[in-house]
Amino acid sequence: MTTTITGNYASLDDKGKKIIADWVGDMIAIEAHIEEALDAQLKVKDQVPAAASSVQRFHDTTKANRDRLRAYQEKVGSTGGNPVIDAGASILGKAAGLIDRFRNDTLTKAIRDDYTAFNHASVGYTLLHTTAVALGDGETADLAAQNLKVHASNVQHINHIISDVLMEEITKDEYPIKNAQAAAETRKAIDSIWKETDESGTSL
């Protein structure tokens, strides 16, 4: 998805440039915190085959998002060491359960936290996109849309695989399972619910 806005970051006034630069700095910090948690998940991903390729995908796409932002940051001039940005990202990261270390928990719960983090990043990119469009900066808006698409895809992917991951873990733990088709039935129900609650085209 690309915008039809002809302006770019260079065309903004000083105030507009600072606003965009701060947003980019925020998003770099958020992506870096998510990647930190995913680094730890990579070490244990093979314990649950149903999760292994997905965790690798989440790590690689998050790293690619962060790298794109860092390259763009060289153009917009924001700094990742900004204490306000770092403090804000720390608060947001803790809310997603992703700061400092990978919790000694199941991969199902880790992927649940990934889902929270990807949605958090997605709304951040939504706000960056809105800001860029409002200021007439099509270049930044396109970057925000590109990175948002990555995490929206990851969220959709989690909707489809997390029940399989859970089933693999609880089967390994010898839960008294009565319905081996629980993952498939849940996936069907979740798909239906998301379609039923789609609000595309609505606004305030």
CATH number at residue 47: 1.20.1260.10
Q: Choose among 152, 154, 145, 156: nearest CA to 58.
A: 154
- Does residue 203 form part of some domain? no
Number of domains making up the chain: 1
CA distance 31 to 69: 9
- Does residue 152 form part of some domain? yes
Task: Give pLDDT, residue 199.
Answer: 84
% residues pLDDT > 90 (the chain): 57
Q: Would you say residue 87 has pLDDT above 70? A: no
- Does residue 120 form part of some domain? yes
Q: Would you say residue 32 has pLDDT above 80? A: yes
- Range of weakest confidence among 20-24, 76-80, 124-128, 182-186: 76-80
Task: Give pLDDT, residue 1.
Answer: 59
103 — pLDDT class (breaks 50, 70, 90): very low
Residue with tokens 């960056």: 128
| Domain encompassing residue 113 | 9-158
- Does residue 171 form part of some domain? no
Q: Choose among 170, 161, 36, 31: nearest CA to 103.
A: 36
- Does residue 173 form part of some domain? no
Calculate mean pLDDT across residues 93-99. Answer: 45
Task: Give pLDDT, residue 81.
Answer: 44
Task: Give pLDDT, residue 10.
Answer: 86
Task: Give pLDDT, residue 78.
Answer: 58
Calculate mean pLDDT across residues 25-38. Answer: 91
Calculate mean pLDDT across residues 87-99. Answer: 46
Task: Give pLDDT, residue 202.
Answer: 75
% residues pLDDT > 70 (the chain): 84
Q: How many CB atoms lie within 10 A of CB 59?
A: 20
Write the DSSP assignment of the chain as a string of letters: --------GGGS-HHHHHHHHHHHHHHHHHHHHHHHHHHHHHTTGGGSHHHHHHHHHHHHHHHHHHHHHHHHHHHH---TT-HHHHHHHHHHHHHTT-SSS--SS-HHHHHHHHHHHHHHHHHHHHHHHHHHHHHT-HHHHHHHHHHHHHHHHHHHHHHHHHHHHHHHHHHHTT---S-TTHHHHHHHHHHHHHHHT--TT---
**Average model confidence (pLDDT) across the chain:** 85
- Does residue 189 form part of some domain? no
- Does residue 182 form part of some domain? no
173 — pLDDT class (breaks 50, 70, 90): confident
Calculate mean pLDDT across residues 138-155. Answer: 96
Name the packing angle between helices 138-172 and 14-42 (round to 10°). 20
Task: Give pLDDT, residue 80.
Answer: 46
Task: Give pLDDT, residue 116.
Answer: 92
- Does residue 167 form part of some domain? no
